[in-house]
Amino acid sequence: MNVIIVHGSVETSCDPLYLDSLQQAAITGYAELEKGLIDAVEKTIMVLEDDPLFNAGFGSVLNLDGEVEMDAAIMDGLSYRCGAVAGIKGVRNPVCVARKVMEETSHVLLVGNGANRFAAQKGFLPFDPVTKEQKQFWEKAIAGEIKSFSPFTGLPKSCDTVGCIAVCDGNPAAASSTGGSFLKLPGRVGDTPVIGGGIYASPYGAAVCTGLGEAFIRLQGAAWAVNLISQGVSVHDAAKATINRLKSINANGGILVVDNKANVAAVHNSNSFPLALVRDGQVIKDFEATRIA
């Protein structure tokens, strides 16, 4: 049994426009399973990085200086291979750079100027990820014209990290990408590129997290969930336990979890957590995230 599931982050709109985009990303990624598991999760995230509806790649939020700094990661559960970039600027698809880090270096994480130089050396062309909408909203926020906005992105329509997990022939993998938080301090890095914090995969399963990145780093949320699975805990119980730990430090977020038998769970403690699931080539439209108070 093969499966791929993708999320658009907590507090993201559940309007059809967003759900359709998530579904198309999952369908596109599933079709890549014939090429390979890593191809599938990478392609899924690329679709969302190219969609300005989401805070990843093109459409990412701006930091306090009015710049876009992006984070991304990818991980193969069977081999434990992983790659990530943090604070990268001026590329279209940070998740693709993260894959290059995994496959063509001996490192796991490249940051800032080093990540930028590496991307250029690998042939990634310069790209401006700033949308007109994000720029205008940043200008108004800096001028003090906007007092209330999403805690994750600043925009009236919320969206944050995008992530996906997949299982093909019993092997798990995960990928994730984000522009971070609106008006963040330059250089701030959340959980997305932190292996174990916001993303993790092992032969037992995989997980990706979204929400308050600092909280997931502190709790090592993704690795904790996958380790529970390795001890025989069900995916739903592992996901629920992770979010309950998040609540213990008064933080909000969501998590996707899958085991190597392709059982999936999505749990959050926020207002919304839109996602799309494709199992054995079929879109599962009645699958929804579980919200815990």
Tokens of 266: 């999505």
CB of 174 closer than 8 Å to CB of 257: no
Query: What is the structure's pLDDT at 146?
Result: 76
Q: Which of 108, 105, 109, 85 is nearest to 97 (CA)?
A: 85
Residue 241: exposure state from Cβ atoms within 10 A (0-12, 13-18, ≥19)? middle
Query: What is the structure's pLDDT at 205?
Result: 98
3-class SS letters over 130-184: CCHHHHHHHHHHHCCCCCCCCCCCCCCCCCCCEEEEEEECCEEEEEEEECCCCCC
Place 157 in a pLDDT band, splitting at 50, 70 and 90: very low
> pLDDT, tens digit, for every residue of 90-144?
999 999 999 999 999 999 999 999 999 999 999 999 999 999 999 998 998 899 8
What backbone phi and psi angles, to 5 degrees, belong to 291? -100, 130
Q: Which of 240, 141, 214, 184 is nearest to 55 (CA)?
A: 184
> pLDDT, tens digit, for every residue of 167-176?
999 999 999 9
Please tell me which residue, 183 or 50, carries the higher pLDDT value: 50
> pLDDT, tens digit, for every residue of 72-87?
999 999 999 999 999 9
Place 158 in a pLDDT band, splitting at 50, 70 and 90: very low
Place 153 in a pLDDT band, splitting at 50, 70 and 90: very low
Mean pLDDT of the chain: 94
Residue 25: exposure state from Cβ atoms within 10 A (0-12, 13-18, ≥19)? buried
Residues with catalytic roles = 161
Under DSSP, the state recorded for 195 is B
- Compute the average pLDDT of residues 7-33: 94
- Compute the average pLDDT of residues 168-197: 96
Place 11 in a pLDDT band, splitting at 50, 70 and 90: confident
Is 50 exceeded by the pLDDT of residue 154? Answer: no
Give the chain's domains with CATH numbers: 3-291 (3.60.20.30)
What letter represents residue 254's amino acid? G
CB of 164 closer than 8 Å to CB of 6: yes
Residue 73, Ramachandran bin (φ over 0: left; ψ between -120 and 50: alpha; else beta): beta
Express as a percent the part of the chain with pLDDT over 90. Answer: 87
Query: What is the structure's pLDDT at 150?
Result: 61
How distant is the alpha carbon of residue 131 from its chain centre?
20
